[in-house]
Amino acid sequence: MFLSLRAEVEDALRGALSALELPTDDLGIEEPPEDVEAVLASSVAFRLAGELGAAPPQAAAQVAAEIDPDELTYVSAVETQGPYLNFLPGDAYFAETLAAGTDESYGRLPDREESVVVEHTSANPTGPVHVGRARNPIIGDAVANVLDFAGFDVSRHYYVNDAGRQMAVFTWAYETFDEADLEDEPERDRIEYDLVRYYRKGNAFLEDGPDEEVAAAEAEIDAIMRGLEDGDEETYERVSEVVDQVLGGMKECLARLPAEFDEFVKETRFMLDGSTDELVDQLKALEEAVYEDDAWQLDLTDHGIEKNLVFLRSDGTSLYPTRDLAHHEWKFDNYDRAVTVLGEDHKLQAEQLRTTLRLLGNETDQLEQVLYSYVNLPEGKMSTRRGTGIDLDDLLDEAISRAREEVERRLDDRIRDDDLDEADVERIAHQVGIGAVRYDIVAKQPTKAITFEWDRALDFEAQSAPYVQYVHARCCGILEEAGLDLETAAADLETDVDAAILETDAERDLLETIARFPAVIEEAADDLEPHGVATYTREFAERFNAFYRECPVLADDVDPDVREARLALVAASRHTIANALAVLGVEAPNSM
C-alpha cells in the first residue's frame, strides 16, 4: 500500500502546485524522521518559497491548504511542521495493507513484460569454487531474485570460459597424466576435486618439466586452442569432456547456497557459430583498430580508457574479450536488459566492453554491471594461487557445523521440545548456517570490502540472519499455537478483520513497515542493490519484536476481535519476512 499512498501523495502535490500555478517537476518527497507520525513528507516549500513570496513554513501552509484529505483514500491528514508537509496514513491504508499481507505472494510486483538476463559467477571451470569468489553467486542470485520479484522475466546465466589457454592446459593434462602421476588424494569426493589435481599437475609440469617435453606439451596446447578456433568438432569434444565434468561438480557446490542457473552459455558457442569471426572483421574496420605488438588491438584513449583492448593474436586466434563481445551482442538480440555481476578487478574490462559495444553500434543503456569487492577472512585476503585458498564447500561446512553447535547449546539451555528431533536440529543447522553466510555477504553494499566474522554472522541476538530468521519461526509458532496448519494457514485464517482495532504504536509501526515492503523491492530492483532488502529485514525484525513484546496475541484476556486482527497481522508478518528472506536467498525456518 505504500506504493499506492506514494502515488496518491504525488498526485495531491501536483494538483496543489498546479492550483498555485507553480512548477510540478520536483515534489521533494521523502521519508520523515522516525519521531514523525507521517508516512511521507515533502520539502517542496523550500524550493517554492521564493516564487510564493513567503518564508518556507508559510509556503508549506499555502500548499497544504490546497489539499483536501477527504478526497484522498490513504491519507487521513496533511500537517505542516516548519517547512515540511507531513502526510499521515488513514484507516484504509492499514486495512488494505493487512489484507494484502495475508497473501502468500505479498510483495511481488505486477509483470513488467520486460526480459532481463542476469549473468553471474562464471568462474573458470578449473576446479572447486573458491570462497574468495563467493560474493559473486550470492549477490548475483539475490539480484536475479529481486528482479524476478519486481515483475521482470529473469534468466539466470553462467558464462563458461571453455576456450582459453587454461582449458587447453587442463585438457592436455587430463589426457596426459594418470592417477599414479598425481601426488595427492582428492580433498573431497566430488568430480571437480578429483580432476583439479590433473590441472595442478599440468601447470607444475609446464613450469618445471624437461624443456623438450614442455615444448611438445606447449605445441599440443596450442593445437587444442587452434582446433577450437577452427571449429574442429573432435577438439571441441575433447575439451567438453573435461569442462562438463568439472562444471557438474561446481553446480553441486553452488546448489548448496543455493544458486541455480537457467542456462550455462559456453563461449565456444560463439566460435562455432561464426559470430566471433564476424565480430573480428567489424573490429578491424573501426577507426580505433591498430596492429601493435604482434596483435590486433583497439586504441581507446580517445574514449577515456588508457589500456588497449587486444582482440586478435598474431596467429589469428581470438581472446576472451572478443568472444565476450559476441556473447553480449547475442544477449542484446534476445533480452531487453543484460545485467552482469563482476568482481572489482574486472572494472577495466567492463569499461572496455561497454565502450567497444557502443563503437560497434550497440545501444549500451540496456547493459548494467554490478561490481563488488572481495570477501576477506579475519586472517587476511584469501588466496587462489595453486589451490591453497579456502573452498566454498569448506566455508559452508564450517557454517553448518557452527550453527549446529549453537542450536544444540540453545536447546540445552531450555527444556527440549519433544517435537524437535535430531532431523529438525540438522535442518535448522543447515538453514541457519548457510543463511548466515548468504545474509552476512549480501547485506553489505557490494562495492565495500568485507571481512567475514563467524561470531557476528551467527549471532542470534544481533542483526544477523538468525536474528531475522527467528522472526519467521516466531510467527509460525504463534499461528500453530492458534491451531492453524502452516501449510493451509493462508486459506484458513480469518482475514475479514477490522484493522482499526490495531491501534497501538507497536501495531501501527509494524503495519507501516509491512506496507513498505513492495516499495523496498521496487527500489532494490531499480538500483540493483539487494542489500536494501537486507536492511529492511533488520528494521522489520525490530518492529515485529516490539509488537511481540507489547501486544499479546493468544492470551486469555485478549478480546476475540483483537485476537483475530493480531493473528492476521502475524500472518502478514510471516509472509513479508519469508518473501524478503527468499529474495536474499535465505531460508525461513518454521522453528528454531
Sorted by where each begins, the domain ranges of the chain are 2-89, 120-387, 392-584
For residue 43, which amino acid is it?
S
Question: To which residue does cell 503495519 refer?
Answer: 511
Strands 309-313, 295-298: pairing is: antiparallel
The whole-number average pLDDT for the span 395-400 is 91
Instruction: Please give the CATH architecture assigned to the domain spanning 2-89.
Output: 2-Layer Sandwich (3.30)
Q: Does residue 176 carry a pLDDT above 70?
A: yes
Report pLDDT for 288: 97
The whole-number average pLDDT for the span 9-33 is 92
As to burial, measured by CB atoms within 10 angstroms (0-12 exposed, 13-18 middle, 19+ buried), residue 178 is: exposed
- pLDDT-derived band at 517, boundaries 50, 70, 90: very high
Q: Does residue 419 carry a pLDDT above 70?
A: no
Number of Cβ within 10 Å of residue 329's Cβ equals 19
Which residues on neighbouring strands pair with residue 265, listed in sequence order? Answer: 159
Report pLDDT for 378: 61
Q: Does residue 572 carry a pLDDT above 90?
A: yes
Report pLDDT for 507: 97
Report pLDDT for 414: 52
For residue 449, the surrounding DSSP H or E stretch is none
Report pLDDT for 508: 95
Q: Write down the mean pLDDT value for the chain.
A: 92
Q: Does residue 186 carry a pLDDT above 90?
A: yes
**For residue 155, what is its C-alpha cell?**
534468466
The whole-number average pLDDT for the span 499-506 is 93
Q: Does residue 90 carry a pLDDT above 90?
A: yes
Q: What whole-number distance in Å separates Cα of residue 122 and Cα of residue 4?
A: 39
- pLDDT-derived band at 389, boundaries 50, 70, 90: low
Q: What whole-number distance in Å separates Cα of residue 213 and Cα of residue 208?
A: 10
Report pLDDT for 413: 55
Q: What whole-number distance in Å separates Cα of residue 317 and Cα of residue 222?
A: 10
Which range, of 166-170, 354-358, 383-387, 536-540, averages the lowest pLDDT? 383-387
Count of positions (residues) in the chain: 592
Q: Does residue 179 carry a pLDDT above 80?
A: yes
Q: What whole-number distance in Å separates Cα of residue 383 and Cα of residue 397?
A: 19
Are both 120-387 and 392-584 of the same fold?
Answer: no
The whole-number average pLDDT for the span 212-240 is 95
Number of Cβ within 10 Å of residue 358's Cβ equals 14
Report pLDDT for 462: 78
Report pLDDT for 385: 39
Percent of residues, the chain, with pLDDT higher than 70: 96
Q: Does residue 463 carry a pLDDT above 60?
A: yes
Q: Does residue 379 carry a pLDDT above 70?
A: no
DSSP 3-state assignment of 308? coil
Helix orientation angle between 165-176 and 233-255, rounded to the nearest 10 degrees: 100
Read off the pTM: 0.91
Q: Does residue 586 carry a pLDDT above 80?
A: yes
Report pLDDT for 418: 52
Q: What whole-number distance in Å separates Cα of residue 574 and Cα of residue 447?
A: 31
DSSP 3-state assignment of 312? strand
DSSP 3-state assignment of 152? coil
From the options 1.10.730.10, 2.40.10.480, 1.10.3720.10, 3.40.50.1980, give the CATH code of 392-584: 1.10.730.10
The CA distances from residue 499 to 277, 542, 569, in Å, are 65, 21, 9
The CA distances from residue 509 to 474, 495, 505, in Å, are 18, 20, 6
The whole-number average pLDDT for the span 151-160 is 98
Which range, of 373-382, 426-435, 522-531, averages the lowest pLDDT? 373-382
Q: In 3D, which of 545, 554, 582 has the Cα closest to residue 471?
A: 545
Report pLDDT for 34: 80
Structural fold of domain 120-387 = Rossmann fold (3.40.50)
- Would you give the distance in Å from CA 369 to the centre of its chain? 13
Q: What whole-number distance in Å separates Cα of residue 435 and Cα of residue 442?
A: 10
